[in-house]
Amino acid sequence: MTEPLLQVNDLKVHFAVRLNKSWPWQAPQQLKAVDSVSLEVAPGETLGIVGESGCGKSTLARAIIGLVHSTGGSVSWLGRELNGMSDSQWREVRRDMQMIFQDPLASLNPRMTVGDIIAEPLNTYYPKLGKAEVRQRVEAMMARVGLLPNLINRYPHEFSGGQCQRIGIARALILKPKLIICDEPVSALDVSVQAQVINLLKDLQREMGLALIFIAHDLSVVRHISTRVLVMYLGHGVELADKHALYKAPKHPYTQALLSAVPVPDPDAERAKSVPLLEGELPSPLSPPSGCVFRTRCPLADEACGQSMPRLMGAAEHKVACFKAT
């Protein structure tokens, strides 16, 4: 079996939140953005992460790459524990682990040219490279992501959203990393541009042997690009499976509801299908339900579900955190 690039075990990210800042004597509340999430990413695969807004997807991504400090658990890269590393050690790791952000334009420095933005990682990690070599590499990467090299001296505001995202992809790939974390990279783009960016990522992954963590709301996009899928709800991983198994036979009630809500291109089939609506509202992460965090909206919940939070269990290819899953 191939050794995983990334291993995450029981990762927790908790924040102390003071609801009323005018009352400094009031004890802060604990917000559990990520609570005991475990996953692995193998070389060359794509792990999709889906869930509603506020379920902890982006916080999980930032904790993996060290942009947010974790409260507990462990993150290992090629067998090396990342938690507790110094800034210089993190700098070494980030050469192989890069990130693409959700807002294409906001993630780019408006005062830098496209060439300088893409070249910045090269200047940081390879300061001895000559200007001609840096420019050559930048132009080659621009051409690879679908940008004309003669645009190298333009600024981000002169580009469309899709072009800005291509600039972000070029910046992430210029160091030839092993893993790219994509934090909803197509959610701000038009549908036609989304397809172009997804196909570009797939082509680059195939050519460079990249591993991807792909975060998205759109289950259709995740199905198109992912190898395996992790479904998150209120900071917990509730189902982890191969994409074919998950989309064909989801086991967790939350996953079933998400997939039932995906539109079907056949109008007759769309009208005929039964969509199990989720009851109630998404609980606040400041006061999550006792036991299983999904039980307040689950049609299968009973008293036993309020006793403890189920953990991901089952075969390696399909794990589910539910006492009622069959």
For residue 249, the domain's CATH number is 3.40.50.300
Q: Which residues, other chains included, contact 289 with Cβ-Cβ below 8 Å and sequence gap of 6+?
A: 283, 295, 296, 306
pLDDT band at 266 (very low <50, low <70, confident <90, very high): low
pLDDT band at 274 (very low <50, low <70, confident <90, very high): low
* pLDDT of res. 259: 87
* pLDDT of res. 320: 94
* pLDDT (mean) for 164-183: 95
Do residues 71 and 12 lie in contact, with contact meaning Cβ atoms separated by under 8 Å? yes
Q: Do 284 and 168 have their domain in common?
A: no
Q: Do 51 and 170 have their domain in common?
A: no
pLDDT band at 281 (very low <50, low <70, confident <90, very high): confident
Q: Do 55 and 187 have their domain in common?
A: yes
Residue 277: pLDDT over 70: no
* pLDDT of res. 241: 94
* pLDDT (mean) for 81-103: 89
Q: Do 141 and 195 have their domain in common?
A: no
Q: Do 220 and 230 have their domain in common?
A: yes
User: Burial of 192 by CB count in 10 Å (0-12 exposed, 13-18 middle, 19+ buried)?
Assistant: exposed
* pLDDT of res. 85: 87
The tally of domains found in the chain comes to 2
Q: Do 57 and 184 have their domain in common?
A: yes
Interhelix angle for 161-173 vs 191-208, to 10°?
10
Reported as a single tens digit per residue, the pLDDT across 190-237 is 888 888 999 999 999 999 999 999 999 888 889 889 999 999 999 999
Name the domain boundary from 132, 148, 176.
176
Reported as a single tens digit per residue, the pLDDT across 233-255 is 999 999 999 999 999 999 999 99
Q: Do 218 and 168 have their domain in common?
A: no
Does 325 reside within a domain? Answer: no
Token look-up 């030839």 returns: 176
Q: Do 194 and 268 have their domain in common?
A: yes
Q: Please state, in angstroms and rounded to a whole number, the distance separating the CA atoms of residues 212 and 144.
A: 18
Reported as a single tens digit per residue, the pLDDT across 65-90 is 999 999 999 999 998 999 888 888 88
* pLDDT (mean) for 51-76: 92
Residue 264: pLDDT over 80: no
Q: Do 153 and 69 have their domain in common?
A: no
Does 54 reside within a domain? Answer: yes
Residue 288: pLDDT over 80: yes
* pLDDT of res. 26: 73
pLDDT band at 102 (very low <50, low <70, confident <90, very high): confident
Reported as a single tens digit per residue, the pLDDT across 147-157 is 999 999 999 99
Which of these, 225, 244, 253, lies nearest to 310 by C-alpha position? 253
Q: Do 203 and 153 have their domain in common?
A: no
Range of the domain at 171: 104-176
Name the domain boundary from 176, 197, 228.
176
Name the domain boundary from 153, 176, 199.
176
pLDDT band at 176 (very low <50, low <70, confident <90, very high): very high
Residue 177: pLDDT over 60: yes
Residue 17: pLDDT over 60: yes
* pLDDT of res. 255: 92
